[in-house]
Amino acid sequence: MSLDKLLATIKSYTEEANIDLVKEAYYLAKESHEGQYRVSGEPFVSHPVQVAQIMAELELDIISISAALLHDVVEDTEVTTEELREKFGPEIELLVNGVTKLSKIDFKSREEHQAESLRKMFLAMAKDIRVILIKLADRLHNMRTLQYLPREKQIRKATETLEIYAPLAHRLGISTLKWELEDLSFRYLEPDRYYEVAKKIAKNRAEREAYIEEAIKRLNTKLTEVDIEADIYGRPKHLYSIYQKMIKGGKEFNEIYDLTALRVIVSSVKECYQVLGIIHELWSPMPGRIKDYVAMPKSNMYQSLHTTVIGSKGEPLEIQIRTWEMHRTAEYGIAAHWRYKEGNRKDEDFERKISWLRQLLEWQKDLSDAKEFMENLKIDLFED
C-alpha cells in the first residue's frame, strides 16, 4: 500500500520516469530487510519506504528515490555494494555508500560529534548533494517516529536534529524539512512549552483567520484594479519560530501578534515591487521591517520582499511577496535543482548555486582540529 502511494506521488510530477527501477529497489529492500523490525513493531522496510516518500514529496529524481529505498541495505543486511552496483548502477551505489558512511561516524565528545558529523556531511555533499538529502529525509522519518524510543534517546536525537540537521536544511534552503525538523525537536525537548504554544495558537484561530481573510480581500480588490494576477494566502507560522521569537524578544505569547503571515505570489519581479507599493498604500509599513531579499538574496538563495504593516485592527501583519520561481526555491532550496528533469540534471545554475558549499569545503579542508573547525563552522552555518 505504501509502495502504491510512493508510485502515485512520483507519477504526479513525472510521467516518463523509470518506475521499474523504483519497484526493483523496493523489492530488494523488502526482501533483504525481511525479519527486521522497527522499534514501533512495524516491518523494517516501512522506514526506507517512508524516507523515499519524503524524497518523492520533494519531487526528486528516480535515482535519489531508489537510493532512499536502499539506504540501509548495505549497513543492515547481507547486500553488498558490488551487488548494488551490478543491479542498480554506480550512481545508486555511490549514494547508498555515502549514506552508510555517514551513519558509521564514531562520536566522542558532543562537540566533536557535532564537528565531525558536519565535516563528514560536507565531504559527502561534495560528492553528491543527494547523499545529504537522503540523510535529511532519513532523520525526518526517525524524528516522526521518535515516540517509540526511550526518553533519553529522544532527547539526544532531538538535540542533534536541532543542532545539526535543521541548520543544515536551512543552509540548503529546504524550508519544508527545516520547519518540520525544528517543530519535532521542540516537541521532544520542551514538551510543556510546545503544547502551551500549540494550545494558544489554536485558541484564537478563527478570529485570526477572519482578520487575514479580510486583508486578503482588500488586497485582491486593489490588485484586480491594476490587473495583477496574484495568489494570496495566509500562512500559519511554525511553533518553534514563534517560540524563538518569544525567547529572543523576551516576550510572552500574547505579545506576539503576527502568528499568521500573508504571502503574495506573482509572475514577475516587477510585479513584486508593484505589489509592495500597493500594500504600503493600503496599510502603513512598520519602520525597519522592509527587507529586499529580491535584490539581495540570502546565502541559501532565498528571495522575497518582506514587509510588516499595521493592519486594520492596529495589529502588525507580516507580508512576503515573491514570484513562483522564488517560491520554489524558498520551499525546496537546493532540492529544487535535483527535481526530476529529463537529461540535463547537473545544470550550470545548480553548479553556481552550490559553489558556496564547495568554497566552504575548500576552506575547511585545512582545518585538522575538529574543535577549531566547529568554531569556524558555527559562524558560517548558524548565523545569518
Residues in 171-230 at the binding interface with ligand GDP, rule: CB under 6 A: 173, 175
323 lines the binding site for ligand GDP (CB under 6 A): no
Q: Which is nearer to ligand GDP, 196 or 258 (CB)?
A: 258
Among 13, 257, 302, 350, binds ligand GDP (CB under 6 A): 302
Q: Cα(269)–Cα(276) distance, rounded to whole angstroms?
A: 11
C-alpha cell at 35: 525479519
Segment contacting ligand GDP by CB under 6 A, of 69-77, 248-256, 299-307, 356-364:
299-307
> What's at 352, amino acid-wise?
R
Q: Of 31, 34, 42, 75, which one is the catalytic site residue?
A: 75
To the nearest whole angstrom, how small is the minimum distance from the Cβ of residue 158 to ligand GDP?
21
Q: Of 24, 57, 76, 91, which one is the catalytic site residue?
A: 76
Binding mask 248-287 for ligand GDP (x = CB under 6 A): ----------------------------------------
Segment contacting ligand GDP by CB under 6 A, of 20-28, 151-159, 296-304, 338-346:
296-304
Q: Annotated catalytic, 183?
A: no
Q: Annotated catalytic, 91?
A: no
Residue 172's nearest CA partner among 305, 302, 323, 364 is 302
CA angle 262, 265, 266 (to 5 degrees): 140
Q: How many CA atoms does the CB half-sphere of 158 hold within 13 Å?
A: 23
Q: Cα(378)–Cα(13) distance, rounded to whole angstroms?
A: 37
Q: Cα(222)–Cα(278) distance, rounded to whole angstroms?
A: 8
**Cβ partners under 8 Å of residue 71, min gap 6:** 48, 51, 95, 96, 99, 100, 134, 138
To the nearest whole angstrom, how small is the minimum distance from the Cβ of residue 289 to ligand GDP?
7
Q: Helix %, strand %, coil % for the chain, to 5?
A: 65, 10, 25
Contact residues for ligand GDP, defined by CB under 6 A:
173, 175, 241, 291, 298, 300, 302, 306, 320, 330
